[in-house]
C-alpha cells in the first residue's frame, strides 16, 4: 500500500464534499501536451515557412513573456496568446487566422491523447452514490477546462466547477478556494482537497482548514508529502481506503 496518512494519530473524518484539481490530478498532463505542441509546431513550420527550432524557441519565449506580463491569472495559460506572441517574435506580426488554427490544432490533439488515471471515474461515482458533494478548482480559462471535463465524460460527476478565470486568480491564491467553498455551502473543515501540487493545491487549501490529499507519481519518482494529510498515487487504492471503514463516518462497502 502506497497510501500514507499524516494525521498525527487523529481519525480521518469522512467529508461532506471533496474538491479536485484537474491537470495531473485526474489525468497525466505531460504526454498529451507534448503531442499537442509537436502538432502545433509542425503546422507553424508549414504555414510560416520557418525552421522548426526557431518555432520552438519563439513559442517558449512567448510563453515566458505572457506569464511574466499577466502573472497568476487564467489568461496567463492561454495557448492562443502564446501562439500569437510566438508568431510575432518570428517577425510575422499578428496573424489571426494562423494563431486560431494553431490553438485549435493544439487542443484537438491534446484532448485526443488524454486519459483519466485508472479508478478516477469509479471513485467519483461512488462518492456521488454516497451523497458526498464534489467540485473542481482548476487553473486556466473556463472554456478549455469545461471541454476537458466533458471529453472525459465527467460533466455529470461534479456539483460545481470553479476555474481561475471565474475566480479572477490562479491557485494558491484565496479567491478560487473561497468561491468553491461558497458554492458548496459546506464548512471547510468538512471538505477534502485532492490535488497534485504541494503549493497550489495543498498550501492553498490548508489555511481554510480543509483536509488535503496529495496525489504523487511514485513511478516517476516525483512528489513530496508537502505537509498534506494524505499522500497517495492510485485512485483505486484511495477508493478502497475511503470505504474500508478506516475513514470515520464513511460507509464501509
Residues annotated catalytic, as ranges? 21, 23
d(CA 186, CA 205): 14
HSE-CB at 225 with a 13 A cutoff on CA atoms is: 9
Q: Which helix (H) or strand (E) holds 184?
A: helix 174-184
Cell numbers standing for residue 92: 510575422
Following DSSP, what letter does each residue of 204-233 receive, concatenated?
Answer: HHGGGT-EEEEE--TTTT----TT-SEEES
Cell numbers standing for residue 107: 487542443
How many CB atoms are closer than 10 A to CB 237?
A: 14
HSE-CB at 188 with a 13 A cutoff on CA atoms is: 16
Following DSSP, what letter does each residue of 20-44 receive, concatenated?
Answer: E--BTTTB-SHHHHHHHHHHHHHHH
Three-state DSSP at 121 gives: helix
Q: Which helix (H) or strand (E) holds 19?
A: strand 17-20
The full length of the chain comes to: 253
Amino acid at each position: 500500500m502506497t497510501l500514507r496518512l499524516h494525521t498525527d494519530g487523529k481519525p480521518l473524518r469522512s467529508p461532506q464534499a471533496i474538491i479536485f484539481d484537474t491537470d495531473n490530478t485526474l489525468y497525466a498532463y505531460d504526454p498529451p501536451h507534448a503531442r499537442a505542441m509537436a502538432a502545433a509546431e509542425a503546422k507553424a513550420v508549414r504555414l510560416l515557412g520557418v525552421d522548426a527550432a526557431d518555432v520552438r524557441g519563439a513559442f517558449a519565449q512567448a510563453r515566458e513573456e505572457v506569464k511574466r506580463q499577466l502573472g497568476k491569472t487564467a489568461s496567463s495559460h492561454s495557448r492562443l496568446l502564446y501562439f500569437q506572441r510566438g508568431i510575432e517574435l518570428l517577425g510575422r506580426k499578428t496573424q489571426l487566422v494562423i494563431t486560431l488554427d494553431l490553438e485549435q490544432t493544439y487542443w484537438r490533439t491534446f484532448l485526443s491523447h488524454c486519459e483519466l488515471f485508472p479508478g478516477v471515474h469509479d471513485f467519483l461515482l461512488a462518492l456521488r452514490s454516497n451523497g458526498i458533494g464534489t467540485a473542481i478548482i482548476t487553473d486556466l480559462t473556463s472554456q478549455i477546462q469545461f471541454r476537458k471535463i466533458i471529453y472525459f465524460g465527467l460533466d455529470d460527476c461534479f456539483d460545481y466547477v470553479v476555474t481561475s478565470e471565474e475566480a479572477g486568480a490562479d491557485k494558491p491564491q484565496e479567491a478560487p478556494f473561497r468561491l468553491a467553498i461558497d458554492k458548496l455551502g459546506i464548512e471547510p473543515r468538512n471538505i477534502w482537497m485532492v490535488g497534485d501540487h504541494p503549493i497550489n493545491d495543498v498550501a492553498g487549501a490548508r489555511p481554510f482548514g480543509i483536509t488535503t490529499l496529495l496525489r504523487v507519481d511514485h513511478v516517476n519518482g516525483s512528489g513530496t508529502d508537502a505537509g498534506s494529510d494524505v499522500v497517495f498515487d492510485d485512485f483505486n487504492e484511495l477508493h478502497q481506503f475511503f470505504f474500508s471503514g478506516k475513514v470515520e463516518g464513511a460507509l464501509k462497502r
